[in-house]
Structure 1
Amino acid sequence: MAWIILIASGVLEAVWATALGKSEGFTKLWPTVTFGVALVISMGGLAYAMRDIPVGTAYAVWVGIGASLTVLYAMLFGGEPASVIKILLILGLIGCVIGLKLVDGSH
């Protein structure tokens, strides 16, 4: 269950990071509200998952999921230029996240 919560929290990290950018310095209401809600839930889920998953692994997975999804969203919808090398690097990051789960034999 901790891994499922950690993955969901990583997805919410991408939500709050994207909302932070769209809030334009907290001057837009709904992106700011989305940022705050997603941040609290994401951090709460990370904290919960860290009860069963080692802190280094949990944090790396959380950041990896959030960073990958944030970049992918920005490339698809936010005008960030996409390139083969960026996509390969994101796939490498995702591979590393999966690898951390696979080597976490104690859970």
Structure 2
Amino acid sequence: MSVPYFAYLCLIAAAAFEVLWVLCVRLSDGFTKLLPAGLAALSMLLSVLLLAKASQQLPVALAYCGWVGLGAIGSALLQQFYFQQPLSLAAWFSLLLLLLGIIGLQLTLAPQH
């Protein structure tokens, strides 16, 4: 069985760019600040391109759910630690469930070569 390491790397990078565009959208103040707005657009494009690359080797459900899930977890961590907007215990539990769901998909949908 061959593990598509490059596909997973692309997926993680795609999720990181998703978090970056969330940050840049927030910092763009409704797209009124040029630099963060431009970085948001570039991050969006890179995120989708990397997702497309990852989905060439990974099952689409794993690629898409991993992208969205890791992006959501990253965005929640950004809210907690960068924007100083605390998450509740229930929110942390929900993020854990989300992470467990992504791991479950990995274990059940991972490509078999």
Q: TM-score, length-normalised on structure 2? A: 0.85
Q: Alpha-carbon deviations, 1:12-59, whole Å to 9, x = none?
A: 111111211221111012211220121111110001111111222211
Equivalenced residue count is: 107
| Residue type at the aligned position of 1:26 | F
Rounded to whole Å, the distance in 2 between the matches of 1:97 and 1:59 is 10
Q: TM-score, length-normalised on structure 1? A: 0.90
**Correspondence for 1:12:** 17
Query: Which structure is larger by alpha-carbon Rg, 1 or 2?
Result: 2
Give unpaired runs (5+ residues) of structure 1: none
Contact kept, 8 Å, 2:80 with 2:87, in 1: the verdict is yes
**Correspondence for 1:72:** 77
| Residues 29-44 of structure 1 mapped to structure 2, 5 A cutoff | 29-44=34-49
Cα offset for 1:70? 0.4
Picking from 15, 19, 26, the partner of 1:21 is 26
Picking from 87, 92, 98, the partner of 1:87 is 92
Q: Find runs of 4+ consecutive structure 1 residues off by over 6 angstroms.
A: none
